[in-house]
Amino acid sequence: MNPHTPETPADVVARLRATFRTGRTKPVEWRTGQLRRMRAMLTERGSDLAAALHADLGKSSTEAYRTEIDFTIREIDHTLDHLDGWLRPEPAPVPAHLGADATAWTRYDPLGVVLVIAPWNYPAQLLLAPVVGALASGNAVVAKPSELAPATSAALAELLPAYLDTDAVAVVEGGVPETTALLAERFDHVFYTGNGTVGRIVMRAAAEHLTPVTLELGGKSPVFVDRDTDLDVVADRLARGKFINAGQTCVAPDYVLTTQETAAALETALVRAVDALYGGDPASSPEYGRIINERHFDRLSALLDSGRVVTGGDSDRTGKYIAPTVLADVDPKSPVMQEEIFGPILPIVTVSGLDEAIDFINDRDKPLALYVFSESGETRDRIAAETSSGGLGYGLPLAHLTVSDLPFGGVGESGMGNYHGRYSIETFSHRKAVLDKPLN
């Protein structure tokens, strides 16, 4: 191909498929080599990615490393430590009618050429972490970074080809036209992180080729705060989980359910917690991020009138800044309760108690995460048994997705499929059944 002629999506997929068919990506040595090269990229060029993340989202270097760069390094290290064991064939018992000499087992086979489509809110981590699993499984990968985080997209498009096998890994930048063209191609798996509207588009396109999909979506992740909890600790953990990345996190606490009496005390504790995190003027805090673009700023600004402002409420469209905001006296029918907030606004909705809270959660779409602050074992058990969510966290928001041995994914409207650690191998592989019956 003429090096001056850009590849089309069809060219990219065909080239990677040709590589996969040679068997090049299947040896464990190739897989682990690619993971080590990606790790080297993150350690040697992490500052470039951190600068890009700051340009796109106002992320501090500390936050960029903690939530994106170091997060991915830990995922790589965990995979390297355990990959041989995960890939080891697993024996299966054989029924007696097949004879004592028959044996059976399962093995993981790579799927082929997979597509990973990343969102803009954690544009490095949410591209690279799935790619870790895809490469560890022995696949060729097309990586599609988000055009809404252009600096990070450009950095990844430069760095990944410089470190990884370009015959088996390709980066395709662009917006809707490029993504649409990619989705028209036949892949062996499509991994999409984003919203339900686009998730439906991805599923429809994949259906044309009967391509399996993983959809990592979102939703309104509720928090239940029980009576008689340490509200200063609750407020600190809520504020940290909610306002990191300016609230633009798929598993961020979306709203709080608690009783009227507890809500009043929690308001005061949240004011202190936000001040402790970002000071009296969060706009000047180097640790507080910005909204991704004006469209999302305008959407979020329209939600600020959905309740009484406890703290925050300030905004600056020019700087794409919305203060960390807590709203009280929020009506369940108000605008802020009709969609995933995906920004730094935390509504408090009062309920009479646990029964009403469970009903409130179950009357809505199944969330990606659900968080519970309660010392009562009965309360914890009831919420676990009587609700459905992608993940469940007691006492600490967000943390479950940092545990590599836990599957991360949604249910219902919040997604399908999961990944991280061994679950990434299961997602990006086919578990093949094998039976051996000797001829003599």
Q: How far is CA 78 from the centre of its chain?
A: 18
Is pLDDT above 80 for 173? yes
Tens of pLDDT, residue by residue over 80-131, are: 999 999 999 999 999 999 999 999 999 999 999 999 999 999 999 999 999 9
Count CB neighbours of 281 within 10 A: 11
Instruction: Find all residues with CB under 8 Å of 251, minimum gap 6, and list them.
Output: 221, 368, 369, 391, 397, 398, 400, 401
Tens of pLDDT, residue by residue over 378-424, are: 999 999 999 999 999 999 999 999 999 999 999 999 999 999 999 99
Is pLDDT above 50 for 2? no
Partners of 326 in the beta sheet?
311, 346
Please give the Cα distance from 247 to 257 (Å, whole number). 18
Please give the Cα distance from 145 to 174 (Å, whole number). 8
Contact 156, 144 (CB under 8 A): no
**Distance of CA 250 to CAs 112, 194, 253, 349, 372, Å?**
29, 9, 9, 20, 17
| Predicted confidence band of residue 440 (pLDDT cuts 50, 70, 90) | confident
What is the percent of the chain with per-residue pLDDT over 70, rounded to a whole number?
A: 99
Is pLDDT above 90 for 6? no
Domains and CATH numbers, the chain: 9-217+410-436 (3.40.605.10), 222-402 (3.40.309.10)
Give SS3 for 338.
Answer: coil
What is the percent of the chain with per-residue pLDDT over 90, rounded to a whole number?
A: 98
- Point out the residues that are catalytic: 216, 250
pTM of the entire predicted model: 0.96
Mean pLDDT for 337-349 is 97
Residue 343 pLDDT: 98
Tens of pLDDT, residue by residue over 232-259, are: 999 999 999 999 999 999 999 999 999 9
Residue 324 pLDDT: 98
Count CB neighbours of 297 within 10 A: 21
Tens of pLDDT, residue by residue over 289-336, are: 999 999 999 999 999 999 999 999 999 999 999 999 999 999 999 999
Tens of pLDDT, residue by residue over 198-225, are: 999 999 999 999 999 999 999 999 999 9
Is pLDDT above 50 for 1? no
Mean pLDDT for 341-360 is 98
Round the average pLDDT of the chain to a whole number and report it: 97
